[in-house]
């Protein structure tokens, strides 16, 4: 297969590309605008493969999208390109509306026109896989409740509202035009190459520098944590084996309060990289509680029984094994993280482009 992957320089997208190049014989076209969250250094280990190619294209650019489809002739699309940081969406929602809604519309139109031009066998095999989030479902009330594929949408932030909108567009293009679509909604991802503004890498890097570890509210928000490499396996299984028109929830079966996640990170760092040069005995001393953000959902939890039952997928990592791998990776790859933090990964890229 030849897969067109949007947002392939992002955290989850790069994990999907690494999985495909390293574990299959398929080819990948990585289409990415390269915003602040796009980092081609996350793909260094596979970028020299003859089965990998890169297109720096904005998904809002209809002309360029048409060119990419006609030039590369993909067998499937995996749509991961999105603005995804909740805090940024609260401060500036316009970019989220533009990328997540308008961009998805433009991509659907380009994919639909291309799909209609295919011969019958390729047309029947084509897939448009839209990757979304469990945040579209809003907040869970009871401690035993779980998000299922039929849970009503109730997004809380501009980010989740824009992703909910894109989900609806994808399903509408299936029903109205017959475009063979699939949708997945995932829980919180973590793992190597995660952008340092997110909770887990932020805590690791702040701790190693002796900076405060800011925790919203009381830290009692509950998330279902999914190791990014497990998610990449799930996404590939859906695009290759999933049933057209279906939605699959992908979860890690690892519900944790944010404060417990931070405590675990501190414990691992105390073990792996003790704070010898800092005026503390444990990294836990750096934990600082800060004012909660507006509209903060308290609990997300995924019922991932459908993807297990229908496609045979289960996560391989427990939270304990996955978070240990993640902390060890950041300790061993501080140069990658620091280049993201100081912006040099972008400056060098722009210098080359000029």
Q: Is the pLDDT of residue 345 over 90?
A: no
What integer is the mean pLDDT of 171-188? 97
pLDDT of 353 strictly over 80:
no
Residue 38's SS3 state is coil
Say how far apart CA 72 and CA 310 lie, in whole Å. Answer: 31
What's the rounded Cα separation, in Å, for the pair 352 and 102? 29
Over residues 156-173, the pLDDT tens digits come to: 989 999 999 999 999 999
**Can you say whether the dihedral through the CA atoms of 219, 343, 130, 12 is positive or negative?**
negative
pLDDT tens column, 239-251: 999 999 999 999 9
Q: What is the pLDDT of residues 81-128, one digit of tens each?
A: 999 778 888 989 999 999 999 999 999 999 999 999 999 999 999 999
Mean pLDDT of the chain: 94
- Other C-beta atoms closer than 10 Å to the C-beta of 101 total 19
Average pLDDT over residues 197-221: 94
In the chain, pLDDT over 90 holds for what percent of residues?
Answer: 84
Q: Domains of the chain (ranges plus CATH)?
A: 2-193+225-255+299-319 (3.40.50.720)
**Catalytic site residue 134?**
yes
pLDDT band at 341 (very low <50, low <70, confident <90, very high): confident
In the predicted structure, residue 352 carries a pLDDT above the cut 50: no
Specify whether 159 is catalytic. yes
* Active-site residue, from 58, 83, 135, 255: 135
Which of 134, 167, 224, 317 is the catalytic position? 134
Asked if 55 is an active-site residue, the reply is no
Q: What is the pLDDT of residue 298?
A: 84
Q: What local confidence, expressed as pLDDT, does residue 309 receive?
A: 98
pLDDT at 338 over 50: yes
Nearest-angstrom CA–CA distance, 258 and 251: 17
Mean pLDDT across 2-31: 98
pLDDT value of residue 354: 34
- CA–chain centroid gap for 263, Å, is 24
Residue from 105, 114, 159, 236 carrying the catalytic annotation: 159
User: What are the pLDDT digits (tens) for 282-320?
Assistant: 999 999 999 988 878 788 889 999 999 999 999 999 999
Helix (H/G/I), strand (E/B), else coil: 213: strand
């Amino acid at each position: 297969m030849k897969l067109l992957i949007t947002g392939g320089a992002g955290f989850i997208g790069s994990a999907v590309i690494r999985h495909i190049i390293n574990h299959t014989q398929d080819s990948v076209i990585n289409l990415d605008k390269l915003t602040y969250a796009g980092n081609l250094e996350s793909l260094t280990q596979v970028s020299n493969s003859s089965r990998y190619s890169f297109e720096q294209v904005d998904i809002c650019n209809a002309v360029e999208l048409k060119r990419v489809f006609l030039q590369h002739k993909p067998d499937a699309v995996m749509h991961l390109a999105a603005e995804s940081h909740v805090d940024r969406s609260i401060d500036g929602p316009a970019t989220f509306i533009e990328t997540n809604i308008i961009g998805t519309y433009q991509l659907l139109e380009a994919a639909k026109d291309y799909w209609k031009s295919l011969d019958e066998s390729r047309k029947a095999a084509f897939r448009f896989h839209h990757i979304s989030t469990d945040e579209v479902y809003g907040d869970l009330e009871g401690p035993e409740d779980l998000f299922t594929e039929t849970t009503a949408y109730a997004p809380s932030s501009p980010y989740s509202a824009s992703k909910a909108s894109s989900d609806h567009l994808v399903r509408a293009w299936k029903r109205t035009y017959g475009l063979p679509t699939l949708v997945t909604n995932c829980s919180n991802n973590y793992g190597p190459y995660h952008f340092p503004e997110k909770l887990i890498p932020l805590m690791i890097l702040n701790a190693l520098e002796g900076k405060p570890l800011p925790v919203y509210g009381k830290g009692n928000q509950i998330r279902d944590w999914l190791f990014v490499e497990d998610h990449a396996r799930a996404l590939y299984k859906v695009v290759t084996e999933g049933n057209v028109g279906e939605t699959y929830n992908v979860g890690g079966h690892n519900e944790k309060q944010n404060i417990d996640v931070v405590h675990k990170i501190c414990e691992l760092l105390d073990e792996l990289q003790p704070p010898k040069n800092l005026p503390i005995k444990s990294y836990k001393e750096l934990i600082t509680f800060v004012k909660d953000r507006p509209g903060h959902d308290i609990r997300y939890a995924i019922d991932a029984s459908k993807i297990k039952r229908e496609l045979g997928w289960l996560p391989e990592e427990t939270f304990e094994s996955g978070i240990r791998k993640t902390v060890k990776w950041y300790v061993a790859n501080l140069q990658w993280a620091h280049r993201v933090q100081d912006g040099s990964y972008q400056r060098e890229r722009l210098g080359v482009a000029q």
